[in-house]
Amino acid sequence: MDNHAVNAARSIYYGFFSKMFVFTPNIDRFEGVDEALDILIKNPLDENSGEALKEIKEFIKTYGNQGLSDEFDDIFNNPVTQTVRDTASFYSEGVESGRKRVEVKNFLAKTRIRRNEKVFTDNEDSIGFLVTFMHELIELVSSGEKQYETVEHCLYTEVINEFFDEFIVALYEHDKANAYKSLAIVLNAFIEFERLYYKVQKPKAKEKIQKKEEEMKEVISDAEAKRRSENRKKREGDLLHSSCKLDDVFTGTEEEGDL
């Protein structure tokens, strides 16, 4: 395995997720997303995530970065609707600032990376901070600072791997998710890739989300789901139409092989 090439690709993914999950008031917060999408679309992790990346690209083409910003707010910051929680502490302990936040701060203290509070207003164990932290660690390791490989490994196995599946399900099922539903598909594929990279197992799902986890084993894009639904309706319509062709039934002229 060419670790340099793999780490370059991993860095692009984490950088892309950082742009999508970190909230800032800057109007250029999504700058670079289009370029990252172009790169990732050419070399997707699998067919479904490839289609999902194209869907995000098409969403931006249609609604612009403002559309992404509005959808982000509806999912994560809308006090009127059910919001998606995005911290490791919440999924681990049911609180927004718990042991997992302390763990991440301890990992951060072992590096020369420092949190820019003007940019990162959310907790250190939030999705946005974690993917950005991973991006920075991979960049440092790739530049020759191998001492950060252990921090990178531990951050993934002890924090990210433990709760991302629950977050992905919550994001995918949110009724306001459109581009971010597609993003959940991409994140799902990437997290599975990272488990192979780090040689770690998927954690056992909690009982309350066991069924949802099983449903996410084969996540398909909205376009693919729509296509399958339309094909199924067409087949059902053909069957109904055929069963109502009384003349054909009585005269024996029904053609075979149409179903």
How far is Cα 55 from Cα 51, in angstroms, rounded to an integer?
6
* Range from 33-37, 51-55, 172-176, 222-226 carrying the lowest mean pLDDT: 222-226
Residues 6+ apart with CB under 8 A from 77: 23, 83
Residue 205 has pLDDT above 90, yes or no: no
Is the Cβ–Cβ distance between 124 and 105 less than 8 Å? yes
Mean model confidence pLDDT for the chain: 84
The closest alpha carbon to 132, from 7, 3, 11, belongs to: 11
H helical segments located in 24-46: 33-42
Give the pLDDT confidence of 81-92 residue by residue, as tens digits.
789 999 999 999
Residue 21's Cβ-count burial label (10 Å; 0-12, 13-18, 19+) is buried
Q: What is the pLDDT of residue 80?
A: 84
